[in-house]
Chains A and B, each alone.
Chain A
Amino acid sequence: MIVRLIYSPEVVEKPVLAEVILKSGVPINILEAKVNAQKGELVVSIPAKGNMLEKIFDLFKEAGVKAQKFTKILQIDYEKCTSCGACISPCPTKALRFEPDWTLAFDEEKCVACRTCVNACPVKAIIVP
């Protein structure tokens, strides 16, 4: 599960993520981080499901950090897409790949919404809603 964590100015200096990891025992991985004295925004990958995932969401809530699930990060318009592959190797998380029949496939759970593929697509077939 890819999640965006939004830190308010009040909690930006607290080690919230480290505490959640210690409390839950789940090795949360930071994919992207924009932090300054005013606010912080992290994109993290949480390798957990069901109750554990809910518990982690509760822990963030208690600590004053807003956790947003990443859903429909980007969409591929298969009317436009030619399955050329120009987006595949620039993708830093290997979220784009070929199916065995060379059709472009997108693994949403690997995507970190960096948008490198949006620029790399020559026919503007990748849309960020």
Chain B
Amino acid sequence: MLSENGKTETIRSINEINEKIRKGDAVILTAEEMIRLVESSGVEVAAKEVDVVTSGTFGAMCSSGVFLNFGHSDPPIKMTQCWLNDVPVYKGIAAVDGYLGATVLSETLGFEYGGGHVIEDLVSGREIELRAESYGTDCYPRRHIETRITIDDLNQAVLLNPRNCYQRYDAATNSTDRILYTYMGTLLPNYGNITFSGAGQLNPLCKDPNYETLGIGTRIFLGGGIGYIIGEGTQHNPSAGFGTLMVKGDLKQMSNRYLRGSSFYRYGVSLYIGVGAPIPILNEKIALTAAVKNEDIFVSIKDYGAPSRPDLRPSVKKVSYADLRSGKVEIKGKDVPSSSLSSYKMAIEISEVLKKWIQEGKFLLTAPVERLSRQTVVKPLEIKKKEPKVSEIMRINVITANPDDNVKEVAKKLVEKGIDHLPVVDGAKKILGIVTSWDLARALASDKKRLEEIMTKKVITVLQNESIDVVARKMAKHNISGVPVVDKENHVIGIVTTDDISKKLIEGKSTI
């Protein structure tokens, strides 16, 4: 554990480091090597000896994409819609410029192929089908184009990623009784596993958490080529220690080893990207942060079973990257397997490649022209339009039955009242089961007498403050047409059916 803050007197400048790199005298360590040196010789010695520490990370980074310029055809076209291998390209910019995002799905292959895969195919030199449409203008008469391109045919292919390299990322688990397929991978039921992302002690921002050396203009390793930090990333959250980077680099110099299209089952597509940054050891304080270990980097394990926004998902436990990397974490007295979604092996490789580049004098360091913000606050999206809640449409005069009731009499009651769903309750109106007209029809045919024998005991219920949108999805998922509304103690206070929801829709006031 690193307890002291470290001295901030300058030991060396970036210019001095570059001079040493040119002469071949610079001492470069990967982040892992730096950790070992500080452990064995202390931070003072490490700060004196080491000029640069190299970091690296390799993981799925959804907020990524590439700006492309296709060049003009003859006659020319002002592309208004464009596809690469059936993956839509954003065409809200000039005639033959486009932006291909990593998460766009193919219109023909869906989850199997998307923007991330096109980027991998481009960087691999593969041929890509280009198709574009237009309305035709005097200056751009062509209305349709179909051709094949490779990355060499493009004037520019610039990887420009609004958010990469999350400093750290909360881990994921699943409390529900069904398997969840998320952007955090496959989450098994009943806390069956934990997944996490991030390189921890190798992550660039974890090595410089005060953003003293990483800022606008910092030269970095990006996708196997040279890139630059061009600002704070979107959702940059420095006060909570969840900084992010916006980066760019020339895709034409990059490698398919460090850019991989990926598909998350039943979630969507993304792009795995390798990013590495050099941390110049300008003072002892930076030497200390550059030696931070997995044991010192903490995240929460969030329950993805809750359909809430990320920061409101219940936190199950706080753990370090060392805990997560160990392969198991205890939750509720049980050892739960944990595994990463980002590749630590590739992160090590990136820190080693960057080290080699610097040692060979191919990569010089740059001082940031501006530091990353340490004040940015992340705000949620408020829903200002009123969303209808269950309480607005539920029927409160609920007809209920008791488990001992006679099937025949209950059937009669359903017909008289013209309803299809009958919650079965105890004396205190607590829910015990539910029967539908279909259950009753079957019961009458099989000659069963008591309601308890035929009722469904595992009842799907909703709360009155839930939004109708959520309830409609719940009913569709369980293939049911009505749900009892209960209070926190499971007392029946109302009922909602698909009929009620469609009536609300017809009113035209709903936003579902």
Is A86 in the interface zone, CB < 8 Å from B? Answer: yes
For the side of the interface on A, what is the size category?
A: 20 to 34
A103 engages B186 (CB within 8 Å): no
Contacts of A91-110 to chain B: CB distance below 8 A: 91-92, 94, 97-98, 101-103
Is B339 in the interface zone, CB < 8 Å from A? Answer: yes
Is A28 in the interface zone, CB < 8 Å from B? Answer: no
Which of B181, B192, B265, B341 makes the CB contact (< 8 A) with A85? Answer: B341
Contacts of B163-197 to chain A: CB distance below 8 A: 181, 185-188, 192-195
Chain B positions 262 through 275: 1 when the CB is less than 8 Å from some CB of chain A, otherwise 0: 11110000101000
Can you list 18 A-B contacts with CB-CB less than 8 angstroms, sorted by A residue number?
Answer: A82-B58, A84-B343, A84-B346, A85-B344, A86-B340, A87-B339, A88-B327, A88-B337, A89-B194, A89-B339, A90-B188, A90-B192, A91-B337, A92-B188, A98-B327, A102-B344, A122-B263, A124-B263
A94 closest partner in B (C-beta): B337
Asked whether A122 and B262 contact (CB < 8 A) given A89-B193, A89-B338, A90-B186, the answer is yes
B339 engages A82 (CB within 8 Å): no
Is A116 in the interface zone, CB < 8 Å from B? Answer: yes
Residues of B within 8 A of A85 (CB): 339-341, 343-344
Kindly state the separation between the CA atoms of A98 and B272 in the bound complex, as whole angstroms: 19
With both chains docked as a complex, state the minimum distance between the C-beta of A88 and any C-beta of chain B, in angstroms. Answer: 4
Is B119 in the interface zone, CB < 8 Å from A? Answer: no
**Number of residue pairs A-B, CB distance < 8 angstroms:** 80
A99 closest partner in B (C-beta): B345
Interface centre among A89, A94, A122 (most CB of B within 10 A): A89
B272 engages A101 (CB within 8 Å): no
Kindly state the separation between the CA atoms of A94 and B60 in the bound complex, as whole angstroms: 24
Kindly state the separation between the CA atoms of A122 and B342 in the bound complex, as whole angstroms: 10
Is A83 in the interface zone, CB < 8 Å from B? Answer: yes
Residues of A within 8 A of B341 (CB): 84-86, 122
Residues of A within 8 A of B186 (CB): 86, 90, 116, 119-120
Is B260 in the interface zone, CB < 8 Å from A? Answer: yes
With both chains docked as a complex, state the minimum distance between the C-beta of A96 and any C-beta of chain B, in angstroms. Answer: 8
A97 closest partner in B (C-beta): B327
A86 engages B339 (CB within 8 Å): yes
Which of A98, A102, A116, A123 makes the CB contact (< 8 A) with B262? Answer: A123
Kindly state the separation between the CA atoms of A82 and B58 in the bound complex, as whole angstroms: 9
Residues of A within 8 A of B59 (CB): 84
Closest 6 CB pairs of A and B: A88-B339, A89-B193, A89-B339, A122-B262, A102-B345, A85-B340
A84 engages B272 (CB within 8 Å): yes
Which of B193, B263, B270, B272 makes the CB contact (< 8 A) with A82? Answer: B272
